[in-house]
Structure 1
Amino acid sequence: MVTMVGNESDIKGLVKDLIYLEHDAIAAYDSCIERLNDSSLSAQIATFKQDHLQHLVVLNEMARELGIEAPTEGDMKQMLTTGKIALADLLGDAAILKAMKTNEDDTVTAYERAARHPDAIPASKAFFEKAHQDEERHRAWMETTAMAL
């Protein structure tokens, strides 16, 4: 799935779409954790999920400061992010991690774009850049680990 998050015309739309994206990611992480057979992989995925939960805290605060109502759950994309994990479960842990990596591709792209958004103030840009680094780290681990299995 290719995300359009990060292409919004204003910061309010960007923050709202990032919140949806984080809810979708957290749902995918939950699905992944429950489906992985290797508990050490599940433990690592759980630490990455904590990053997403922290991103959500910051984004909710940004929404409050911008005076917008923050979404409290994911959107229709959540079915795609969790559905990929459910299908990959049929093929084992490596396939699950590869499916998660494709979800991370979207979050990497979204935060990379967000960091360049013209309406982002310096504090927002700093958060978007840190979140981008987190997502890059998650994606790299998933890709490397899946290849090693």
Structure 2
Amino acid sequence: MVTKVGLQQDIFDALKDLIELDLDAIEAYDAALNRLEDTSYKTTMSSFKDDHHRHVKELSDYLIKHKHQPPQKGDLKKILTQGKVIISELFGDNAIIGAMKSNEVDTKTAYKRMLTYDGIDDALNEILQRGFNDERRHFAWMETHHDKSFD
């Protein structure tokens, strides 16, 4: 799936879509956590899920401060993000990590794009930079722990 987040003209519309993407990621992490067998993987993935919860909170607080209503749930992308994880369960932890890694590509791309908007204030820039750094860290861990020889 290729995300369109960060391509919108209006920054507030883009932020709402970014929150929906993070909410979808949380759902995908729930699916992964229910299927992973390795406890160390579960611990790491749980911390990544917590990062996505923090992203939702920080972005939602920013929207509210600027008189915009944040979304409360993801959109239909969650069917795709969860579906990849659910199907990969048939092939074990490595496949689940591979599915989650492909999901993280979208969130990493979205945060990177969001940082390119002209005129974002320092507070939003800090939130977006922290989110982007989290996404890079999540992806790097998954890249390291995903054995591509089984794909």
TM-score, scaled to structure 2 = 0.95
- Aligned AA for 1:120? I
SS of the residue corresponding to residue 116 of structure 1 reads coil
Partners of 2:30 and 2:43 lie apart in 1 by: 11
Residue of structure 2 equivalent to 1:109: 109
Query: 1 CA distance for matches of 2:146 and 2:89?
Result: 13
Query: Which moved further from structure 2: 12-21 or 119-128?
Result: 119-128
Q: Answer yes or no: is the 8 Å Cα contact 2:23–2:74 preserved in 1.
A: yes
The equivalent residue for 1:81 is: 81
Report what 1:122 is aligned to.
Answer: 122
Percent identity over the alignment is 42
Once the 2 structures are TM-superposed, how far is the Cα of residue 118 of structure 1 from its aligned partner? 1.6
Partners of 1:130 and 1:70 in 2: how far apart? 19
Q: Structure 1 unaligned runs (5+)?
A: none
CA–CA distance in 2 between the matches of 1:117 and 1:92?
39
Which one-letter code corresponds to 1:116 in the other structure? T
Quote how far apart the aligned CAs of 1:25 are: 0.4
- For the 8 Å contact 2:5–2:17, the answer to whether it is kept is yes
Q: Matched residues in 2 for 1:62 and 1:126: separation?
A: 11
C-alpha deviation, 1:66, in angstroms: 2.1
TM-score by length of 1: 0.96
Which residues of 2 match residues 15-94 of structure 1 at below 5 A? 15-94=15-94
Q: Bigger CA drift: 139-148 or 49-58?
A: 139-148
Distance 2:123 2:57 in 1: 15
Verify the 8 A CA contact 1:104 1:139 in the aligned structure 2: yes
Q: How many correspondences in the alignment?
A: 149
Stretches of structure 2 lacking an aligned partner (at least 5 in a row): none
Q: 2:3, 2:106 within 8 Å by CA — same for their partners in 1?
A: yes
**What amino acid sits opposite 1:31 in the alignment?**
A
Contact kept, 8 Å, 1:115 with 1:126, in 2: the verdict is no
Letter in 2 for 1:47: S
The Cα shift of 1:70 comes to 1.1
Give the alignment's Cα RMSD to 1 decimal.
1.3
Secondary structure in 1 matching 2:120: coil
